[in-house]
Amino acid sequence: MLTNVAVMVWDGAAPFELGVLCEAFGLDRRQHGVPTLDFAVCSPGGGPVRMSMGLTMQPEHDLARVAEADLVAVSATPTLGGTPEPVLEQLHAAHARGARILSVCSGAFALGEAGLLDGRECTTHWMYTDALQQRFPAARVVPEVLYVDAGQVVTSAGSAAGLDAALHIWRQEYGANVASMVARRAVVPPHRDGGQAQFIARAVPACDAETLGPLLTWVLENLREDHSVETLAKRALMSPRTFARRFRDETGATPHSWVQRQRIAAAEELLESTEQPVEWIAGQVGFGNAATLRHHFLRARGVSPQQYRRTFCPAVGTA
């Protein structure tokens, strides 16, 4: 049973993500029937921590306090690594004695440096998922989710997703009613639909491929067309086999997956900027009908087109 939480911070710690952990586990909610946890913020040597945003804080505990904790948490740092050795030692020791480990946002890099992500599914902020996978190739990075519960190790996506992971831990330890009260006190939903894929900024598709750039631009301008390998290869004046190989070499994706991503991105734009029904949008972006769009949108973004529209353009409605 979770009763004792220690958060480790060091120079560069991000105040918002630390605040998420304090909000989730450090408040006294006894009047609402929520168990009070023994909560501590700890730093190497118990010294002051120069945080990002020009702040300095003075924790009350050094890292020796971590040895008492059932849950050991690390916040985000902008450095994506360079974790102090005493912190890594405490992570190793906590893991070895069976304590649960939680990271928020880029705190996952500290877990990676401690070797705790090897062979495990994990996540971090969508901006850093590629870097996390490259830095720790033995980890199995899942980029589209709000958090990953890999048993003893829980990793969350960016910033506020740390609260989603914390509520998940409350729910596991004390049940849905307690988790709901913690969420209510924080004025957030007990469980958010979907994952961080729906929040990822859409980059302008790269159309500067060495030989296929003009074709990719044409596809983006004509998403309603049939874009099979055969039709695209014919337009590129190549055999289907040569075209498929060249396409992967220049874009890193198969023609089918690339086109699907562009159709999803175009559907997002229309969901945000128009009041047109999903059926109409499906036709415009080449999915043909609303059911097909819903299927692919849900698989790519973790929410339905209607849920996406309610989140990002509530004034449009739920057409």
Chain segment 19-28, per-residue pLDDT in tens: 999 999 999 9
Residue 318: pLDDT band (50, 70, 90) is very low
Q: What is the DSSP letter of 49?
A: E
Same structural domain, 13 and 113: yes
What per-residue confidence (pLDDT) applies to 60?
95
Q: Is the pLDDT confidence value at 266 over 70?
A: yes
Same structural domain, 20 and 149: yes
Same structural domain, 77 and 178: yes
Copy the structure tokens of residue 30: 């006894």
Same structural domain, 193 and 226: no
- Residue 118: phi, psi to the nearest 5? -60, 125
For residue range 105-121, what is the model confidence (pLDDT) as tens digits?
999 999 999 999 999 99
Same structural domain, 61 and 135: yes
What is the extent of the structural domain holding 29? Answer: 4-199
Number of structural domains, the chain? 2
Same structural domain, 48 and 128: yes
Q: Measured over all CA atoms, what is the biggest interatomic distance in the chain, rounded to whole angstroms? A: 72
Q: What is the CATH number of the domain that holds 291?
A: 1.10.10.60
Residue 206, in any domain of the structure: no
Alpha carbon distance 120, 142 (integer Å): 10
Q: Which residues pair with 101 in a beta bridge?
A: 72, 153
Alpha carbon distance 101, 87 (integer Å): 12
Report pTM.
Answer: 0.70
Q: Which residues make Cβ contacts (< 8 Å) with residue 5, sequence separation at least 6?
A: 21, 25, 26, 37, 38, 39, 40, 69, 70, 71, 72, 73
